[in-house]
Amino acid sequence: NAGVMQNPRHLVRRRGQEARLRCSPMKGHSHVYWYRQLPEEGLKFMVYLQKENIIDESGMPKERFSAEFPKEGPSILRIQQVVRGDSAAYFCASSPLAGFAGEQYFGPGTRLTVT
């Protein structure tokens, strides 16, 4: 059973470009969570999605950031018009249970560098 997969592992974007980060949850998991880790900090919750629904986006910046988890395919975290402050590691986790009741299994992360 493959773990949570994220791609790309490393992404370099120039200021103003768009970044798309992908997350494929573990088989059988329909709950996906995105976290951001700024340098020298812990992971911070961004958004929780179920298939085709955003359940909790209380940690998402109000502008430029969006997330989706379509019926088919991976979850996507999209950052428009990236700025240097978006440089961070972005982690996806998946769970078989709703909310935050179940164990979350983390992917290897995507390191975004904005030049």
Partner 1 sequence: AQTVTQSQPEMSVQEAETVTLSCTYDTSESDYYLFWYKQPPSRQMILVIRQEAYKQQNATENRFSVNFQKAAKSFSLKISDSQLGDAAMYFCAYRGNKLVFGAGTILRVKS
Q: How far is the CB of 23 from partner 1 (least distance, A)?
A: 13
Could you give the CA distance from residue 26 to residue 86 in angstroms, rounded to a whole number?
Answer: 26
- Using CB under 8 A as the binding rule, whether residue 106 contacts partner 1 is answered as yes
- Binding track over 8-27 against partner 1, x by CB under 8 A: --------------------
Instruction: Please identify, using beta-carbon distances, which residue of 71 and 101 lies nearer to partner 1.
Output: 101
Among 65, 91, 112, 114, binds partner 1 (CB under 8 A): 91
Contacts of 2 (CB under 8 A, 6+ apart): 26, 27
Q: List binders of partner 1 among 29-68 (CB under 8 A).
A: 33, 35, 40-45
Q: Which amino acid is at 43?
A: L
3-state DSSP assignment of residue 25: coil
